[in-house]
Structure 1
């Protein structure tokens, strides 16, 4: 039997095991997908042990950046982005990929989001932020991109080698609230099931922005997106990000192609 999974902490929100195992069952595949709660201090040991037992695994918060130093190789795009969310065991050696970029591209393209000449505020500076910023700067020329973080010095140290570091402005939550933005993007886990309460941005910013984007997919409409929608803004959920990165993961790990509607059906959203 082929073994795969997703690692993260927390992991209770993930729908990956439901989707993968349903697909395996429908295709008659001898495979199983696990959800693995993994603390940071357990990461290196898991990477070593999984090389003998797993086909591969998805990676979610907080491991997308820290896992890179334990991998044998990383595909060029993931290395350039600076974030890995899929590991394939290739000849007993772990190889890193970034399939979030496929999900982000689909989500923004399907929603006809144009970042050109826009003032953008992003909450969070972790792995998914790196992928979002990579897409934005590779496909548009925004007027400005501010990144709201809790600790500017720590974020500066973490991002100093990031390809687009010179294109962003790190700000505290207090300072972020002093400006106005066209687009707000949540790249933090705030609002994720089961702790769905919480607003990633100062509330005074919600009424002036015309677009709200959330990388959280469970629940599909977070408190942040609900407030933005009530204010008449266009909203983009994390659903397409999740679905398209899952589709890409299935191709890389198992060589199977799954349609978006099939995953939507499994998620109970058709």
Structure 2
């Protein structure tokens, strides 16, 4: 039986195994999906050599950027983004080739396409990690003007939360939470936005899907804003990953 899975540091939040096990059962696919918690990304080569039936991986925080040096190749989109969330593993004897892809970007773009926006297309991206880079890639390609935001604001061209003025908040329509703040089990946390400036004109897109309604979303809705979670994006990127991974011809009926 071929194995696919997810690597990350802590995976208590993940619904990926549940999603893929249902997908395999519905499609008559003889495969398994396993959550692999890695204390360090340096443990990836040992995992790949040890699990000889492993043919595909999803990648989550905090390894979407740091996994890249361990890969044989990158898709053009993953290279442009600078982050990987899907790995295809090809085996020929002792030769193992790992290719990195980014399915976060097309999945986010498809979810964003569900909504109509003003022509100004201004956004804030909360976070600077791999997921944030995928969001930035999509927004840039679709003609958005955006700023990235972090707690420290120390990176070039990145704002800190205390620099989000009323004028900035009024100018943006889309706010994307690409941080883990609010993710299970830390469900009482959220990004420190200046919430007094959130209005019904804002759309809050939380990439988190567990819990399905985060504090970030609840706070936005209390101010009249629209708010959506990352569950639709999770399903889209998972289906795209399945298209990328090598499959045994006997897996599907």
Mapped to 2, the partners of 1:20 and 1:115 lie a distance apart of: 37
Post-superposition Cα deviations, 1:116-146, rounded to whole Å, max 9, x if no partner, equal 413322210000111101100101243xx22
Structure-2-length-normalised TM-score: 0.86
Distance in 2 (alpha carbons) for counterparts of 1:93 and 1:195: 36
Q: State the match for 1:87 in structure 2.
A: 87
- Equivalenced residues, count: 238
3-state SS of 2:25 partner: helix
Q: Which stretches of structure 1, 4 residues or more, deviate above 6 A after TM superposition? A: none
For residue 173 of structure 2, what is the aligned residue in structure 1?
Answer: 182
Contact 2:89-2:246 at 8 Å conserved across structures: no
**CA RMSD across the alignment:** 2.1
CA-to-aligned-CA distance 1:154-200 (integer Å, 9 cap, x gap): x33xxxxxxxxxxxx31112112553233221110111112111221
Report if aligned partners of 2:176, 2:204 keep a CA contact under 8 Å in 1.
yes
Q: Using the alignment, how far apart are the partners of 1:5 and 1:115 within structure 2?
A: 39
In structure 1, what is the equivalent of residue 251 of structure 2? none
- Matches of 1:114 and 1:175, distance apart in 2: 24
Inter-partner Cα distance in structure 1 for 2:35 and 2:78: 23
SS of the equivalent of 1:125 reads coil
Greater length-normalized contact order (CA 8 Å, ≥ 6 residues apart): 2
The structure-2 alpha-carbon separation of the partners of 1:255 and 1:236, relative to structure 1 and needing over 3 Å to count, comes to farther
SS state of the match for residue 55, structure 1?
Answer: strand
Deviation of 1:255 after TM superposition, in Å, equals 5.7
Q: 1:123 aligns with which of 120, 123, 126?
A: 126
Give the CA deviation at 1:208: 7.0
Q: Deviations over 1:85-106 (max 9, x none)?
A: 0001023211101011121012
- The one of 216, 233, 238 aligned to 1:241: 233
Measured in 2, the distance between the counterparts of 1:137 and 1:12 equals 32
Query: Per residue, is there more strand in 1 or in 2?
Result: 2
Between Structure 1 and Structure 2, the one with more helix by share is 1
Contact preservation (8 Å) 2:87, 2:101: yes
Counterpart-to-counterpart distance in 2, 1:25 and 1:56? 18
Where does structure 1 lack aligned partners over 5 or more consecutive residues? 157-168, 257-270
What's the CA shift for 1:35? 1.0
Which ranges of structure 2 fall in alignment gaps of 5 or more residues? 249-253
Aligned pairs (5 A) from 1:151-162: 151-153=152-154, 155-156=155-156
Cα offset for 1:115? 6.6
Which of 30, 43, 46 matches 1:45? Answer: 43
Map of 1:148 onto structure 2? 149
Alpha-carbon spacing, 1:231–1:203, altered in 2? closer, same or farther (3 Å): closer
Question: Against the structure 1 CA distance between its residues 45 and 176, is the aligned structure 2 distance closer, same or farther, given a 3 Å change threshold?
Answer: same
Matched, 1:97 2:101: yes
